[in-house]
Structures are given as structure tokens and as C-alpha cells.
Structure 1
Amino acid sequence: MKPLAYRMRPTKIDEVVGQKHLVGPGKIIARMVKARLLTSMILYGPPGTGKTSIASAIAGSTKYAFRALNAATDSKKELEAVVAEAKMSGTVVLMLDEIHRLTKPKQDFLLPHLENGRIILIGATTENPYISISPAIRSRTQIFEVKPLSPADIKEAIERALHDSQNGLGQMKIKLTPAAMDHLTNATHGDLRSTLNALELAAKSTEPEQESATITLDLSVVEECLQRKALVQDKNGDAHYDVISAFQKSIRGSDADAALHYLARLLEAGDMISVDRRLLTIAYEDIGLANPQAAARTVNAVTAAEKIGLPEARIPLANAVIELCLSPKSNSAISAIDAALADIRAGNYGDVPNRLKDSHYQGADQLGHGTEYKFPHDYPHDWVQQEYLPAKLRTRQYYQPKENGKIEQAYKKQYDSLRAAQKNKGPR
């Protein structure tokens, strides 16, 4: 009676679907497993992206005992049982779900066992661990981000489940139509658990054809079992991403009616996740410094939408879409950071000026670190002329202000004034 997603969990690290930045050849977790030098870790990311699978695969590849608990629902007594097992039989890999809800008594009990390596803790959370997890736990773990699976990753997992006769659906004669496969790979936005469980429901609730005993799963069956409609059918399966692209480009192009149309298509397909992500990106990428308050209001709208859910969520989302469409636009911030990143990636960076180096340690003054630093608050207008960029980049200008809104016009005026003051060694 265990669900398909549970049965298909990997037992070896090379069976993990996706997350190649962690488990691919030569990557950090693969190296830990190969060397059998495991450290406790926290995996954070969206649901259904493989956090528990990675923990299970680590245990299977290293032959350590594997136990799974939930920080919110399992008591200290269950933790004590795992520690007792580790004392008797050796190292235990403990998967602790919802680790951000670990209480202080449980935390205090676990800490010494993490220190001596008796317990290899693999914590899982959908929350930002730098905010939600206590410093005591963070300082004893490595933190790795688990990313949403790509459609190609999801398709790989589906095909593996369809052909696996022992744990998957390989004993059933299943025919998945191309449209159904496209919808399964795209509709859950990287949540493999939801995908596999919907696939199993579809397969076991669809009557086979009498003569061939084939179970045909078409788009309508998959839509019903996922409870998510396909946006439109197309030959290449790209329609979903085409609509998301059109949504952002319509807002960037200031066409409120088109943007509302694509918003409606995404919401009707149940894809509020993509809407939320796109709106937050658009607010900072396309509107940016021309209207910073629009970005703040977009964050509030997305937060409200997530709290109240559909269908009411359509209201704050529509508010945000209309405001972003009608707002002045500026991409100066993304252009500025991309220009700076291009320099770094090309190796075009220099030494931090001595005056800016850390001086909070004995002997720093002998190295000339921080000795010539001028504290801006000691000067009129809390500003003083001094060089901040590395010497070889002294003339670089990453930020190129635009003048599409009153706010960035004011930023431009201040930016130009400060640059002139730096060059002239005094305020303009």
C-alpha cells in the first residue's frame, strides 16, 4: 500500500533524479559518499524535489542504517531510540523532516551525538535555513539547496517507474500518450512526489482495453488525477512555458489586457506558483528602480495570494499585474549587477584597497589595513571623498541610470553628483 513515490526512492546515490549540482560525479555529496566522510547536512528546497531521496541514497550507498523522523510530530523518545541504536550498532543516518520545527530540548539532546559523529543528521526543510534554523544546528551542518526538478528530470523518473517491475508499474501494460506525458512532466513544477502519485492513481483507476489489456492514459485522465488542467495542447509540449513567457513580456511591454489574459490562463491551469515567481522577478527586473514601491506592493500581493489561495488569490494578483503593466520601467539594476558579475567571472578584479580591509585584529595597523580609512559620519553631509573600488577598476561604472520614472531620475541625479564629487575630490 506504499505510494509509488515512496517505492521508487533511490537506494544508491547514482539513482537520484536531478540535483546533479550535489550528487553528480565529482560534486560535494557524491564525494562524501565515495570517501565515506559524511557530515551532517541540511537540505532545503520545495516539496517533492528529492530531499528524502538523497538521504535514503546516502544511507544505501554507504550501508549505514537509515532512520526517518519528523521534527514536528516525533517525540524526544523516538530520537533517544535512534541514538541508542547508533550506540549499539554504529553510525546511523537520521533523516529529520521539518527540521526548522525542532524544539530546543530535542536540539540539545542531538547536539553531542552530531559532534561525535554517531548520528549523521540530514535535515530537510522548505524554509530558509539561515532564518528558520537555530545557529547551534547550522554551525554543525553543511547547508545545501535542493532545486526544483526540470521537466527532463521528471520524464526520466516517469519512464523509470513505468519500466520498474519490482517497485514501479512495470507489471502493468501502460500506454502514456505524448500529451499526457507532457502534462505530467510540466504541471507539478518539479514536484516529483505529486507526479508519481498522480501517475499511479491514473494507472490503477483506468480500465484496461479488453483485447490488449493495455491501460491508455490520455491527457484527460492525467488532468483529472493531477487536478490541473493543461493550458493548451501543442506538438512540442512547450505551451506552458510559452504562456509564462508571454505573461512576462506583456507586463514588460505595458499591455495590461494581454497580461491579464495570460494571468487568467495560468490561474485556470492551477499554476499560481509560476505566477508568483514571475511577478516577483518582473517587479525587480523590469520595473526596478523606476518604481521601487511597486516591487514592495508586489511582494505584499504575492504573500496575500499565498495565504488566501485560489480563487480569491486572483484579486491581489490582478492588482499587481495591472500596477506593474502601468508602471514606468527600468532594467538598470539587473544590467548593473550583470556587468559586475561579468567582470568577476572574467577574472577582472583587483585587491581590496588597504584602507577598506578589516582592521579588527592585532597587527592590522602594521600591515596598513584600515589605517587611512575615513569614517564618512565624521564629515559634513556624512560623505567624504575616498576610493572604494580596487585600483585597476577605478574608472568602472556598472550602474547606468535610466530616467523613466521620477524616482530613478532622482537616483540618477544623486549618482551623477557623487561620481563627480569623487573625481573632483569634493562635493559638487
Structure 2
Amino acid sequence: MEPLAYRMRPTTIDDVIGQEHLVGEKGIIRRMVTARRLSSMILYGPPGTGKTSIARAIAGSTDAKFRQLNAVTDTKKDMQIIAEEAKMSGQVILLLDEIHRLDKAKQDFLLPHLENGRIILIGATTSNPYHAINPAIRSRTQIFELEPLTPDDISTALMRALHDQERGFGKMDITVDEQAIDHFVQASGGDVRASLNALELAVLSAPEPVHITRQDALDCLQKPSFNFDKDGDQHYDIMSAFQKSIRGSDVDAALHYLARLIEGGDLPTLTRRLLVISFEDIGLASPQAASRTLSAIEAAERLGFPEARIPLSQAVIELCLSPKSNSAITAIDSALSDIRKGKSGDIPKHLKDGHYTGAKDLGHAVGYKYPHHYEGGYVEQQYLPDKLKNARYYEPKDTSKSEAQFKQIYDNINQRKKK
């Protein structure tokens, strides 16, 4: 017998749980089905949110032939068989799992069949199609994003499975405690497949008459489902929220996202981003924070998980509560902007290498004033090219005593330049 999650997949568009923005009364996919005007599409979103279910429901609602392939494991010959079937029947709906991994040979074979409409392609992926899918396929499909299922959606799916007479457990004598349902819902992480698999395990492993308690639910779904794909959209969203929480000095939010990144287990990417944050967002407001962050990263890399969480947590808390300054990154970006606009100019002659001009003043060109020969280690002279001699890239912040001191020195030097 097929698994419960497979048996409970919807057969028509009306059976789909959640995704109201796509299959609800005014949803675009429902409108396409109602009008019998299907076009190829890509469905993307986290695992267990209904990509395959929607594809099957579309086929069930239109009486079209439905076939399913995997872009990795199935061959071009498998696609040729479906193409021949489409020629005979007029149209086939093809669900192609992991479409982001479709190779060029298979893609080139599919394209003409998408063009003439004989194959209605429904690609399924957890990766962002705007980044992961070839433009040739992307331009011939509509792209729809699926949202994570809500707790109410998961609960609806579980109750439907328990009461369905044909596909579910409706014919069995089953009692399920409310606390057990709550655990299946909360621990599934929005993945309806995970919740149905856990329910099935609980039912099939229990003596009759079946009574599922919260402890049974805990035993069957011991660790909450956590969707984490280090190459997927969600990973980058978490990483973005992590940095923005540190930048916003919200310790608790930053620790929350740190915990999610730790649970994902991608230590190299996490530590790289943490080091970037220490320079980009704290920067000159607390120059020592970057070196301490690097020490924490080195400790984390030596320790590995789970102990690595301790120095990482320490670094995150310090960065959150440190004064913030982005003056270093804005300064270099401003300078780069001028370079990329073609604003450069000749290097002043007195700054050119004296080894090539025959000068003997400490290896520097004639006319160069050696600052260490002057009081305070400073002497006024032009360093920027003529075109940019008045350019100012560094804009100091006053968010810390450290950068306030830099600001005072910088302002003093600029005042002396103007004299």
C-alpha cells in the first residue's frame, strides 16, 4: 500500500489545502483550470507545501493525462515516450521534480514541445527559479511561489486523513488526543508530508483499538521538522534577517536566527557572514570587535558543532550591543564609484616611485615630503590626482568614542588642507 501522504494527495483543485492565493476562488491557477487555458508553470517553495499536489489536482480537474518525472533520475528517453504520448492524445501534463537540475540535453528536447503546447510542464523546485533555472525554460513558464502551510492547514490535512473512508483511516477505530494533534502540527514545521508520515507511523505501530497520545506523537516525530537548504531561498532569507537583527541591535532576534543557522549546520557560511558583519556594521565604531569576532570564529571552527555555538553566541551578543558604524564600507564604495565612472587621473609626480626617477630621498620621487621628518608626523601635500584633489570619501560617524577620535583627527587634517 502507498504511504498515507501519497494516498491523501488531492484529486481535484477543490481538495488542495492552503495556497489560497493560487487555488482559492480568485487564484490564478484556479482561473486557468476553470477557463481550460493551462500554460506551463514552475511551482517553488519549501518541501511539503503542495507542489506535487497542485500538479495532480490540475490534471484531475481537467481530465488531462498526467505523467511525473524527475529531472535528475529520469532520462531523455523517458521524456521522448511522454512526447509521443502527447502527439497521440493531444496534450499531457508533465510534472518535473527538481527542475532546477535539468541538464541542457533534456531542456533542448523539451523546449519545442512547450512551444507547441503539447506538453504542459509543471516544474517543481525548492530553489528560487530566478536564480536556479535556465532562462530558456523560465521564459516559457509562469512562476508561482507556494507559501508555507499554516498550523490550521496542517490540522485540516490530519483530520481529513483520520476521517477519509477510502484513502485514510476512516474505517479504523482510532482515537487521537488533542495534544497529539497539536504536536504533529507544531513539530512538522509547515511540512504536511512530515505530519502525515508521523501520524501514519503512530497509527500503524499502535495496538488495536488505536489510541494516539501526546507521547506517541513525540515518539513518532521526535525532532521538529526544520527545512534548511543552504543553496535555497530560505537560507539567504535567514542570513539576511540575521545580519539585519545585529545591525538593529536586537540581541534576541539575532540569537534566534543564529540558532536557525546553527541547526542548518552550515558553519563556513555562517562564520563568513559574521566576520563581514563585524567590519561592515560595527566597523570603526569598535575596531576591536572584528578581531574578537575572528577569535570566536577560529574557536568555533576548532570546536565544531555543538560546542561551536558558545563562541558564536558570544560574538553575536557583542556585535549586537556594540556601537554601529558603516563609514568604512561607504567610504570605499564611494571611492570605487568614482573609479568605475572613470574618475581617476594621473598620480602626482612627487608620489611616483623614486627608483624610476633617479631620486635619492628614501626611494621617493623628487618633491615628495617625508612626513616622519615633520612635527607630528604630518606635512601638507597633495596625494590625490588633480581631478579628485578635493574628493571626500570618508564620512565619520559619532556613534562611539573610538570613531569620534578618528573624526577629530580627520577634520583637523582637512582643515589644514584648506589653508
Q: Give the TM-score category using the shorter length.
A: 0.5 to 0.7
* Aligned position for 2:282: 291
* Aligned position for 1:323: 315
C-alpha distance 402-325 of structure 1, shift in aligned 2 (>3 A): farther
Asked if 1:219 corresponds to 2:214, the answer is yes
C-alpha distance 229-137 of structure 1, shift in aligned 2 (>3 A): closer
Output the amino acid matched with 1:82.
I
Question: TM (normalized to structure 2)?
Answer: 0.63
C-alpha distance 254-22 of structure 1, shift in aligned 2 (>3 A): closer
1:331-354 per-residue CA deviation (whole Å, 9 max, x = no partner) reads 999xxxxxxxxxxxxxxxxxxxxx
Instruction: Specify every segment of 5 or more residues in structure 2 that has no aligned partner in the other structure, as ranges.
Output: 226-243, 327-339, 345-386, 409-419
* Aligned residue runs from structure 1 range 80-95, under 5 A: 80-95=80-95
Output the amino acid matched with 1:326.
E
The 3-state SS of whatever aligns with 2:152 is: helix
* Aligned position for 1:368: none
1:217-244 per-residue CA deviation (whole Å, 9 max, x = no partner) reads 11211111123279xxxxxxxxxxxxxx
* Aligned position for 2:78: 78
* Aligned position for 2:134: 134
Q: Do 2:72 and 2:98's aligned partners in 1 also have CA atoms closer than 8 Å?
A: yes
In the aligned structure 2, how far is the partner of 1:292 from the partner of 1:7? 56
C-alpha distance 91-205 of structure 1, shift in aligned 2 (>3 A): same
* Aligned position for 1:29: 29
In the aligned structure 2, how far is the partner of 1:185 from the partner of 1:55? 24
Q: Do 1:376 and 1:383's aligned partners in 2 also have CA atoms closer than 8 Å?
A: no
* Aligned position for 1:272: 263
Output the amino acid matched with 1:224.
D
Q: Do 1:289 and 1:408's aligned partners in 2 also have CA atoms closer than 8 Å?
A: no
1:174-229 per-residue CA deviation (whole Å, 9 max, x = no partner) reads 22212211111011211111110110110111112xxxx3x111121111112327
In the aligned structure 1, how far is the partner of 2:223 from the partner of 2:122? 32
* Aligned residue runs from structure 1 range 48-63, under 5 A: 48-63=48-63
Output the amino acid matched with 1:324.
V
* Aligned position for 2:69: 69
* Aligned position for 1:109: 109
C-alpha distance 113-174 of structure 1, shift in aligned 2 (>3 A): same
C-alpha distance 320-405 of structure 1, shift in aligned 2 (>3 A): farther
Asked if 1:183 corresponds to 2:175, the answer is no
In the aligned structure 1, how far is the partner of 2:401 from the partner of 2:74? 55
C-alpha distance 259-103 of structure 1, shift in aligned 2 (>3 A): closer
Structure ID, larger Rg: 2
- Displacement of 1:328 in angstroms is 3.7
In the aligned structure 1, how far is the partner of 2:107 from the partner of 2:402? 48
Instruction: Specify every segment of 5 or more residues in structure 1 that has no aligned partner in the other structure, as ranges.
Output: 231-247, 334-374, 385-400, 414-428
* Aligned position for 2:356: none
C-alpha distance 204-135 of structure 1, shift in aligned 2 (>3 A): same
Q: Do 1:290 and 1:328's aligned partners in 2 also have CA atoms closer than 8 Å?
A: no
* Aligned position for 1:228: 223
1:232-276 per-residue CA deviation (whole Å, 9 max, x = no partner) reads xxxxxxxxxxxxxxxx999987779x998x899x79xxx936999
In the aligned structure 1, how far is the partner of 2:153 from the partner of 2:201? 20
* Aligned position for 2:206: 206
- Displacement of 1:322 in angstroms is 2.5
In the aligned structure 1, how far is the partner of 2:283 from the partner of 2:37? 47
In the aligned structure 2, how far is the partner of 1:383 from the partner of 1:189? 57
- Displacement of 1:153 in angstroms is 0.9
Asked if 1:314 corresponds to 2:306, the answer is yes
Output the amino acid matched with 1:322.
Q
The 3-state SS of whatever aligns with 1:327 is: helix
Q: Do 2:247 and 2:281's aligned partners in 1 also have CA atoms closer than 8 Å?
A: no
C-alpha distance 26-407 of structure 1, shift in aligned 2 (>3 A): farther
Output the amino acid matched with 1:290.
D
User: What is the aligned length?
Assistant: 318
C-alpha distance 90-2 of structure 1, shift in aligned 2 (>3 A): same
1:348-367 per-residue CA deviation (whole Å, 9 max, x = no partner) reads xxxxxxxxxxxxxxxxxxxx
In the aligned structure 2, how far is the partner of 1:143 from the partner of 1:45? 11
Output the amino acid matched with 1:88.
M
Question: TM (normalized to structure 1)?
Answer: 0.62
RMSD: 4.8
Q: Do 1:67 and 1:95's aligned partners in 2 also have CA atoms closer than 8 Å?
A: yes
Farther off after superposition, 22-31 or 53-62: 22-31
